[in-house]
A and B are shown apart, each in its own frame.
Chain A
Amino acid sequence: MNRLTDLTVTEAMHALNAGECSSLELTRAILERIDALEPSVLAFLTRTPELALQQAQTADEKRKELKRNGSAIPRLLGLPIAVKDVLTVEGIRCTCGSKILENFVPVHTATCVHKLQEAGVVILGKTNTDEFAMGSSTENSAYFTTRNPWDLERVPGGSSGGSAAAVAARFTPAALGTDTGGSVRQPASFCGVTGIKPTYGRVSRYGLIAYGSSLDSAGVLTRTVEDAALIFEVMAGYDPRDATTMDVPVPQIQLDSRTDLRGLRIGVPKEYFIKGIQPEVEQTVRAAIARFAEMGAEIKEVCLPHTEYALPVYYLIAPAEASANLARYDGIRFGLRVPTESNIEMFKKSRGAGFGSEVKRRIMLGTYALSAGYYDAYYGQAQKVRTLIKQDFEKVFESVDMIAAPIAPTTAFKRGVHTEDPLAMYLEDVFTLPANLAGVPGLAFCCGFDSQNMPVGMQLMGPHFKEDALFKAGHAYQQVTDWHRKSPTL
């Protein structure tokens, strides 16, 4: 058996089920590693070691009892995981990386977390995020910037940077993330791990603290595609508390060791290989696509003509929704309150003090885009173009089963390089935004390294509710490559 902290989800479940280790041993090993290395990685906003140990012990006892009775063992019983700090867990502080929620303890648990708890997970803590998931580096966290375990000078990507870094640093075999414009896939790429952004409507958003409601998806980061598929299966499904979830059956994803991809048609969109993309990223992704071809997949160039509009469309729709979603932070019922004479003054002062500059920028952008006289030109127009982007995907999926593309134009950049230039930071997301606008699933995984030894990721995007096809292709790729097994030295 590997070192306990190196175990993937699948390996850990195997070890637990085979009695090779207990959840308590596994959790202790992980907590020890976090204790030792967290000061240099800074992945967590809130750690819950006592709770984790208690849950691990409960899981071990439960396992014994179930075994004795010959009952079925829940699929993830005793598995430690981390949760991005925009997903609520009852009783555990949830900050969203913002000062305005510094002391906020939710009274409800996100449905996707609850489903994992039902399956037996142990919660290690809440991971760092850009404030309200607005950012691509965790530099917009009001608390600190998470470090990339491959190079501590570099960012882990964002906004689920804490989760990606935690998985890469072997602080956890799996961490939940959210993806509104690439926030699972881009940090997965930067940290050399695997991440799934499910179809919009596949995983409940109940308990996901909203940023852009029509774009937000809860996903997971792991080290292997197999692990992501396993966790995804548990998280997914219709939720009566989220009217935007779809009542589509969640498939039982059967992954095997076959690597023959004959009959699979993969589209490569030319719009994703643009000027400005780091040459090593393009080369690495193209090499990976060639590897898919060697495995028997048919590779076709496809066209997603409205890709270039994804960025402006996203930066109208997401901020517009955010401007309303963030209106509830008024200092009245929870969160930061700056006391003043009048109510409205209190709103202003509390929000002024509680929100960081990127959040304020997006609230202003969104408010403007929805204003009388500007609505049609901005928000209304953006919705129309969004439909065109959706149609681009629908059209392409008539001729291919999935699309392969780079995730980010560059590998992880150094802290501070984009902080003064929001537009350059926004460009980090050009390849990930379209999937959110179209609501299609995207699977991110590592496909190589650049000359600085920084991971390069690629994504497979598929039609709505076809995550299983992406998992199968990604798993086949990981059967013939070992990029996903590489581990940073800390």
Chain B
Amino acid sequence: MEYEIVIGLEVHAELATNTKMFCSCRVVDSTQAEPNTTVCPVCAGMPGVLPVVNRQAVEYAMRVGLALGCTINNTSLFDRKNYFYPDLPKGYQISQYEHPIASDGLLVVDTSKGEKAIRIRRAHLEEDTGKLTHVVTDTENYSLVDLNRCGVPLLEIVTEPDIHSIEEARAYATTLRGILRALGVNSGDMEKGVIRFEANVSVREAGTDVLNNRVEIKNLNSFRAMERGLAYEIDRQIKIMESGGTVSQETMGWDDTNNCTYTQRSKEDAHDYRYFPEPDLPPLVVDADWVHRVQSTLPELPRARAQRYQNNFNLTAADATLLAADITVAQYFENTLAAAKDVPGKTVAAWILGEVYAYLNRTGEAFESLRVTPAILADLLIRLTKGEVNAATAKVILATLLEKGGSAGEIIKEKGLQQTSDPGQIAALVAKAIQDNPGELESYRNGKETVANWFFGQVMRMAGGKANPQVVREELARQLKK
């Protein structure tokens, strides 16, 4: 039987605001900061405290909503989601339930089968929880609570069940990450847990539109975990169906160490969160002016940027998309371009996507930590375009720059790599090559024109690779015709 996979994704994105969602504690890197150092009575859930909505978080949520083509709801409501857990100091999480800040959007992603539009059901604001560390030793067994992350603004972005393959899920997740980074609302730093996924997965016979029981998978904290979790779960469900069984509706967790899902809660044990409107917060009203202001200051998004690159620099769609997908890469490209006067965009793109990417892929280094800044790369490409070095030499220089740093000028000087374009010098070399190889000259004169290329190679070798190829060819053509 052919199966169709039906996936809905929930993305929890921390918003990189200055302060927390409902208090004035600073948002810090919770993987770095000392535990419980950015905590106040409000985010610690002390008796008698009240939440106050962070306007910057609302604005960030609006940015994302607008970038995803959502309607920004004039009035949205905060609700209390009730459950007990040691990382949730108030015993409830302030979230948005029936009336989210943004709804009904669309995200177009690229897959190997072409464009795919995934509908966004909603995006709502909520607060993050704290972090628990369980300590188990031979003699002790206890849990530690760190509330630094508690109260950090989260935007939960929920798709319709429009995703039908793992590839689409990945494309959606990476595209969304690119947008969040372009908007400046999230670092996209997956290792720090600033983006986390939950997936709803079901499987049905292809070509039908039955809605089978879906399974919710939690704890998908990286792209890899998401893909593996989905693959594992899809496989599990297909096996159940093939053996004539029925998938039961439940909540599962992804175990990243053992690469499998495990049951967290069955349908019967499903949490009753007892949502009700948060009485401490009046309805969140966002007027049209504010929406317009945010809309008008939205930065260029990856898709539009790729289109622009394609149009302005005559790049292929694939190259343009690669350069535009991530804000760091795009800025690197644009900064290099700005510094590299008279160097065509296509050349800059080719060097970044070629040599720089090859280096990053080989070493696993991050783009952010490149030793070669846009200015350094631009300097090299200017020298190349001016003919000061040729392409082969430029590659060698760049390899050194990537490995060790420094500047093109230093390396050229140090290794004597200046390209020679001096016509006299080149003419002498060409003359010597012709003189030393009368046999080859003879066959050239007899009509074997490819011998010209052989002479070119000779001259370049004699010049130690530093001669300007263009000048060599011209001089060669001139002298051979004599």
Enumerate chain A interface residues (CB-CB to B < 8 A): 86-88, 94, 96, 101, 104, 106-108, 110, 205-210, 212-214, 240-244, 320-321, 323-324, 326-330, 332-334, 341, 343-344, 347, 367, 370-372, 375, 379
Contacts and interface: CB of A to CB of B under 8 A. Distances in A.
A333 B44 CA distance: 8
Interface footprint category on B: 20 to 34
A205 B274 contact: no
A324 B84 contact: no
Given A324-B276, A372-B272, A110 B89 contact: no
Contacts of A205: 50
A370 B276 CA distance: 7
B403 interface: no
Majority secondary structure of chain A interface residues (helix, strand, loop or mixed) = loop
B457 interface: no
Q: Which one of B48, B84, B91 has the highest number of Cβ atoms from chain A below 10 Å of its Cβ?
A: B48
Interface stretch (B13-21, B160-168, B278-286, B465-473): B278-286
Interface of B: 41, 44-53, 80, 82, 84, 86, 89-92, 141, 143, 145, 272, 274-276, 279-282
Given A96-B47, A244-B282, A327 B276 contact: no
A327 B272 CA distance: 15
Given A206-B49, A333-B45, A343-B143, A371 B280 contact: no
Contacts of B52: 240-243
Contact of A108 (B45, B49, B274): B49
Contacts of A208: 48
Contacts, number: 109
A101 B46 CA distance: 11
4 closest A-B pairs by CB: A327-B91, A370-B274, A213-B279, A214-B279
11 contacts: A106-B41, A209-B47, A213-B280, A241-B50, A244-B281, A244-B282, A320-B276, A323-B274, A324-B91, A332-B86, A332-B145
A239 B321 CA distance: 50
Given A107-B41, A214-B279, A371-B272, A347 B84 contact: yes
Q: Which one of A104, A209, A333 has the highest number of Cβ atoms from chain B below 10 Å of its Cβ?
A: A333
A108 B46 contact: yes
Contacts of A107: 41, 46
Nearest to B145: A332
B91 A101 contact: no
Nearest to A108: B41
Contacts of A323: 82, 274
A94 B47 contact: yes
Majority secondary structure of chain B interface residues (helix, strand, loop or mixed) = loop
B53 A243 contact: yes
A329 B45 CA distance: 9
A328 B90 contact: yes
Contacts of B46: 106-108, 328, 333-334
A242 B274 CA distance: 24
Given A327-B82, A344-B84, A108 B91 contact: no
Contacts of A244: 50, 279-282
Contact of A332 (B82, B89, B272, B280): B89
A132 to B, nearest CB: 9
B68 to A, nearest CB: 27
A243 B48 contact: no
Contacts of B91: 324, 326-328, 330
A309 to B, nearest CB: 19
A244 B86 CA distance: 28
Contacts of A324: 80, 82, 90-92, 274, 276
Contacts of B49: 108, 206-207
Contacts of A87: 48
Contacts of B276: 320-321, 324, 370, 375, 379
B50 A243 contact: yes
Given A327-B92, A330-B84, A332-B145, A108 B51 contact: no
A88 B48 contact: yes
Given A94-B48, A244-B282, A328-B46, 5 more contacts: A108-B49, A210-B47, A241-B52, A328-B47, A329-B47
Contact of A328 (B45, B51, B280): B45
Nearest to B78: A243
A321 B145 contact: no
Q: Which one of B86, B274, B275 has the highest number of Cβ atoms from chain A below 10 Å of its Cβ?
A: B274
A330 B86 contact: yes
B86 A243 contact: no
Nearest to A212: B279
Contacts of A344: 84
A242 B45 contact: no
Contacts of B92: 324, 327
Nearest to A246: B282
A238 to B, nearest CB: 12
A454 B475 CA distance: 122
Contact of B48 (A210, A240, A379): A210
Contacts of A206: 48-50
Contacts of B143: 343
B89 A333 contact: yes
A206 B50 CA distance: 6
B90 A327 contact: yes
Contact of B47 (A106, A212, A213, A379): A106
Nearest to B92: A324
A108 B48 contact: yes
